[in-house]
Amino acid sequence: MKRRDFIKCGFGGAGLAVGSGLASGADNSASPSGKSVYGHPWWVKMIPRPKLAVDDHVYSRFKASNNVFGSFSRYYGMENRKKLMQESRDKTIKYYLEKRPGYRLEDRALADAAWVISRLGGLNRGTRAWTSKSVRTPEQRGVENYKGNPEEAAQLIKAAARYFGAATVGITMLDRRHINSQEREKEIVFEPAGEPYEDEEKLVIPDKCTYAIALSVQMSLDNLQCSPTAISSAGSSMGYSRCEFLVAGLAQFIRGLGYVAIPSVNDLGSSVAIGVDAGLGELGRTNRLITPEFGPYVRICKVLTDLPLATDKPIDFGLLEFCKVCKRCAEACPSNCLSFDDYPSFQVKGEWNNPGHLAWFEDSPKCLAYWQESTSGCSICIPVCPWAKKDKTMIHEIVKATSAKIPALDMFFNTMDEAFGYGRQKSADKWWSLNLPEYGIDTTQGKG
Please give the residue ranges that form the binding site for ligand SF4 (CB under 6 A).
284-286, 290, 322-323, 326-329, 333-335, 337-338, 367, 370, 378-381, 384-387
**Residues whose CB falls within 8 Å of the CB of residue 4, separated by 6 or more in sequence, listed in order:** none
Q: Which of 295, 301, 300, 319 is nearest to 390 (CA)?
A: 295
Q: What DSSP character marks residue 44?
A: P
Sign of the dihedral through C-alpha 224, 230, 236, 239: negative
**Residues whose CB falls within 8 Å of the CB of residue 290, separated by 6 or more in sequence, listed in order:** 281, 282, 283, 284, 296, 319, 385, 387
Residue 67: CB minimum distance to ligand SF4, A:
15
**Residues whose CB falls within 8 Å of the CB of residue 240, separated by 6 or more in sequence, listed in order:** 115, 118, 265, 299
Residue 328: CB minimum distance to ligand SF4, A:
4
Residue 439: CB minimum distance to ligand SF4, A:
22
CA distance 254 to 263: 10
Nearer to ligand SF4, 217 or 326 (CB): 326
* Residue 290 falls in which region: left (phi positive, over 0), alpha (psi -120 to 50) or beta: beta
Residue 285: CB minimum distance to ligand SF4, A:
4
Nearer to ligand SF4, 165 or 295 (CB): 295
Cβ–Cβ < 8 Å for 381, 296 = yes
Nearer to ligand SF4, 253 or 297 (CB): 297
Sign of the dihedral through C-alpha 173, 273, 327, 343: negative
Nearer to ligand SF4, 244 or 363 (CB): 363
Nearer to ligand SF4, 91 or 186 (CB): 91
Residue 286: CB minimum distance to ligand SF4, A:
5
Nearer to ligand SF4, 310 or 378 (CB): 378
Closest-approach residue to ligand SF4 (CB): 326
Residue 295: CB minimum distance to ligand SF4, A:
7
Residue 204: CB minimum distance to ligand SF4, A:
35
Residue 378: CB minimum distance to ligand SF4, A:
3
Q: Rounded to 5 degrees, what are φ and ψ at 431?
A: -55, -40
Residue 296: CB minimum distance to ligand SF4, A:
6
Cβ–Cβ < 8 Å for 276, 51 = no
Q: Report the length, in residues, of the chain.
A: 448
Q: Which of 430, 440, 432, 380 is nearest to 106 (CA)?
A: 432
Cβ–Cβ < 8 Å for 309, 271 = no
Residue 292: CB minimum distance to ligand SF4, A:
12
Nearer to ligand SF4, 292 or 386 (CB): 386
Nearer to ligand SF4, 95 or 422 (CB): 422
Q: Which of 174, 150, 80, 102 is nearest to 372 (CA)?
A: 80
CB-based burial, 63-98: b 16+ in 10 Å, e otherwise: ebebbbeebbeebbeeeebeebeeeeeebeeebeee
Nearer to ligand SF4, 60 or 336 (CB): 336
Nearer to ligand SF4, 101 or 295 (CB): 295
Q: Where are the alpha helices (DSSP H) in 40-125?
A: 72-76, 78-98, 105-114
CA distance 110 to 131: 32
